[in-house]
Structure 1
Amino acid sequence: MGPDNREWLEGARLISIGVAAAVVSAGLVIGVGRAVMIDDADRPVARAEILIPASTR
């Protein structure tokens, strides 16, 4: 294998590692974003469930 091939393979490996890291970090950001959105959406429902029985007593 010539030096040019070796450099190309090293560059390709670095690019593939970068792409994999970007995909993983994007997945984490999306997962955290969904968790925050779902958490925010559930809070008013939980409050309503607490308030409704208290007001009907």
Structure 2
Amino acid sequence: MTTLPIMIYNNPLRTGFNSQVKKLIRLVKRFPQIVAFKEAGDSTSVPIVKKN
């Protein structure tokens, strides 16, 4: 566990994995140290995650 700020970076072309919006929202709600989200895949998920 860390108290440092964390940024989640979703880059499916590089990793071969695409984070699901529901899972991202759950992570952000559970870990207050997540302060940023960068999306390199489907940009339509950004407003959804930001709103929740």
Q: Taking CA–CA contacts closer than 8 Å with sequence separation of 6 or more, which of the two structures ends up with the larger relative contact order?
A: 2
Tell whether the structures are fold-level matches, with TM greater than 0.5: no
Please give the TM-score of this superposition, normalised by the length of structure 1. Answer: 0.23
Please give the TM-score of this superposition, normalised by the length of structure 2. Answer: 0.25
- Structure number with larger C-alpha Rg: 1
Q: Which structure shows the bigger proportion of residues in helix conformation?
A: 1
